[in-house]
Amino acid sequence: MKKIVECVPNFSEGRDSETIEAIAEAIRQTPGCTLLDVDPGQSTNRTVYTFVGDPESIIEGALAAARVAREKIDMRNHKGEHPRFGAMDVCPFIPVKGVSMEECAEIAEKFAMAAAEELHVPFYLYEASAKEEYRRKLPDIREGEYEGLPERLTDPRWKPDYGPLEFVPEWGATATGARMFLIAYNVNILGTPNQAHRIALNLREAGRGENEPGRLREVKGMGWFVNEYNVAQVTVNLNDYRVTPIHLLYEEVKHEAKLLRVAVTGSEIVGIVPLESLLMAADYFIEKEQLFIYEEDQKIRLAVERLGLNSISPFIPEKRIIEYIVAEKPDEPLASLSVRDFIEEIGSRSSAPGGGSASAAIAAVGVGLGAMVAKLTYGVRRFEDVQPHMMKVIPGLHELTRELIPMIDADTSAFNEYVEGMRMPRNSEEEKQARFKKMQAGLKTAINVPLTTMRLGNKAWDSLIEIARHGNPASKSDTQVGAKALETGIWGAYQNVLINMVDIEDDVYRRTILKEAEQLMQRAHQKCAEIIAELEKI
């Protein structure tokens, strides 16, 4: 799996377009890094950059950006709404894919070490990279901000982790570390900055102090007025969106605003957002409003509309959701073929694709037909009495169809490990043993693919029975074909399990897998017959 790290440096410059672009270009020009977003703010006089890369490249990208900031930003001239203490104020590293938090903590420390040495400026480590507990939280490190740094640097407790002890007036200091995916989120209110700040104080975890904490955990926030939007904002950082999700913060701001008799006019996400956070919001509104939405793109649209994420600028999911941005095109050469080309490929003078890929495709068609009938029944006025049945089965069948499609290609590539084993040398006893183990592992992989097809297909039977009993009678033949296709696909996958099991020498594994496969096959015969019998009553 490719390792992907996200870096979100915040620079204390949001007004000089030349400097903003120069930093962006430095990131773009770093091999292995992809700049995803640049979000400058006039009132905050701050720009947030978001880019991704592998662990080595991400450090180089952050260094390249810091070099430009060292040359072009002078903190002696900086004023802005946002708390800050450095030209590169904060530079967090976030695990996205194939990377642990511990690895990101090491990346942050390597970056701090290299940047401090080259640029001769102080760096503090925070969050997962912090060496001391009292330095873990960013507000604690940044207390007193830029203006308080000269005095703070004389305190031994606040000696920088890397870089000089003396105050560097044109730079200040930088905090870098590893953290969870932080969501910078602003809710717009038609009110004053004081009203926005009152709401923030009521909600943020720190509240108004130790004796008066706020209601929401893992939330930092304040209120301000954004001149370019002509609105006040409750501006927050959601440190852990699983603890306090976006929708909860939004709903709580609406509640507080109502008490103050001010209007909420949507919200904005600054930078990039995880897919899960928007799906959580969608599920909240679906339950609250008793809606029926199961497709991911429609869920995203619902979340965007209910949270008013288009209120400041268009929210384009493909450019703002991290999983969509870094997604790689599926390696599915067979599933991507036209139906004609796929069939002709099966019929070519080659052993692959063969029965396994065909079985996965047939099973997917069977489940897909069931999904089609359910969707054609749902929403039709004369079938209103069966709507609950269709609402229950549609999401599962829709997702199972999507899960079965990749099995078409997975079956064709299942023998790669086995073939690699066959090609291994066998001159010595050790080489023979290594070759044998590799080939046995390859056979188990080849067995697991059709077995997975059987398991996925098996999940569809109860839903197909519901459709047979309550689906649109005009689609009777579609349900019949779907049931038979699914049974055939499972049967074909079963035959692939059996033929690959012949050379397996692990008796315990053999007995366990054969028992499961036989049970899945028996259930397929039984459920298909049950569906056909049910449909004969129509």
Torsion 7-11-15-18 (CA) sign: negative
CA distances (Å), origin 151, targets 12, 82, 147: 21, 21, 9
Measured distance CA(353)–CA(343) in Å, rounded: 10
Measured distance CA(359)–CA(357) in Å, rounded: 5
Counting Cβ atoms within 10 Å, is residue 165 exposed (0-12), middle (13-18) or buried (19+)?
Answer: exposed
DSSP category for residue 210: T
Torsion 365-370-373-377 (CA) sign: negative
Q: Which residue has the tokens 């594994």?
A: 509
Measured distance CA(219)–CA(273) in Å, rounded: 16
- Hey, which residues does 186 pair with through a beta bridge? 235, 268
The Cα angle at residue 148 between residues 145 and 154, in degrees rounded to 5: 125
Q: Are 414 and 446 in contact (CB under 8 A)?
A: yes
What dihedral angle (degrees, nearest 10) is formed by the CA atoms of 521, 524, 527, 529? -90
Measured distance CA(176)–CA(258) in Å, rounded: 38
SS3 at position 270: strand
Q: How many CA atoms lie within 13 A of 39 on its CB side?
A: 21
Instruction: At 528, list the tokens.
Output: 């298909």
Short-list 305, 89, 302, 61, CA closest to 176? 89
Spatial CB neighbours of 4, under 8 Å, sequence gap ≥ 6: 52, 53, 54, 96, 97, 98, 99, 326
CA 333 to chain centre: 24
Q: Among all residues, which ones are annotated catalytic?
A: 82, 411
SS3 at position 238: strand
Measured distance CA(520)–CA(136) in Å, rounded: 52
Measured distance CA(491)–CA(488) in Å, rounded: 5
Terminal Cα distance for the chain, rounded? 50
Q: Are 63 and 111 in contact (CB under 8 A)?
A: yes
Measured distance CA(169)–CA(163) in Å, rounded: 14
- Hey, which residues does 53 pair with through a beta bridge? 5, 33
